[in-house]
Amino acid sequence: MTTRSLKLNSSEVFLVEANMECKGNSIFRSSDLHDEAGAISVEMGRGTAHPFRYGGKNMVFKHYSRGGLLSKIVDDKYIWLTLEQTRSFAEFRALSKIHGLSLPVPKPVAARATRRLGLYTADLITEKIENAKTLGNYLDNRFLTKKISSAVGKTIKKFHEKAIYHPDLNVENIMIDDDENVFLLDFDKFKVQKLNKRSGLQNIHRLDRSMRKKSISDGQPFPQEQWEHIVESYEAPK
């Protein structure tokens, strides 16, 4: 893992890379799909993700943006404190740690923070999770089976057993691939925290709120049975 900085016009660009194959800023130039006509993008947490290919592999480029009222004022800019506290570098370190624990998260490739006048923008590149859809997509299409629901609960439990706390579980940062493997996304605010049964269930109930919010937004009944499968599999002994 290497960290470098370079000057670009009036900005200072900081890069961290998982290996030496990502030389210079080239991987980010390859991934700047938001400037290309016809680029395909999807919402990914508080940001937009763009798939692209680099070095023969499928990657995902994520540009961080704000949510809530602040998004109408500053959109994708954050106050610079330290490099380690930037959104992209924090998530890169988190994913590196969690991936090293053999937990199902995207493999981190590179992170970028661009500083100018006390503010910065942030970008992250990870390897793409192939043939995967969000939990929200499954709810949209009513394909959330008992097997998938149970896999979601079991996967969250694996994270908790290794003291990995995700503070914002929701239907858009849980992905399921075609083999029904479950992955968690968006770890820039994760915590290493031992969870007992009570605190673990409190964490998982954030997902309950997200599922209810989506049900109301879509005008669909809450998937109570599927939610119960998630909780039951989370609570089940090994």
- Residues with a catalytic annotation lie at 168
Which of these, 157, 173, 185, lies nearest to 95 by C-alpha position?
185
Q: With b meaning 16 or more CB within 10 Å and e meaning fewer, what string describes 191-216?
A: eeeebeeeebeebbeebeebbeebbe
Cα–Cα distance measured from residue 54 to residue 77, given in angstroms and rounded to the nearest whole number:
27
| Structural contact between residues 185 and 107, judged by C-beta atoms closer than 8 angstroms | no
| Structural contact between residues 200 and 234, judged by C-beta atoms closer than 8 angstroms | yes
| Structural contact between residues 156 and 208, judged by C-beta atoms closer than 8 angstroms | no
| Structural contact between residues 189 and 98, judged by C-beta atoms closer than 8 angstroms | no
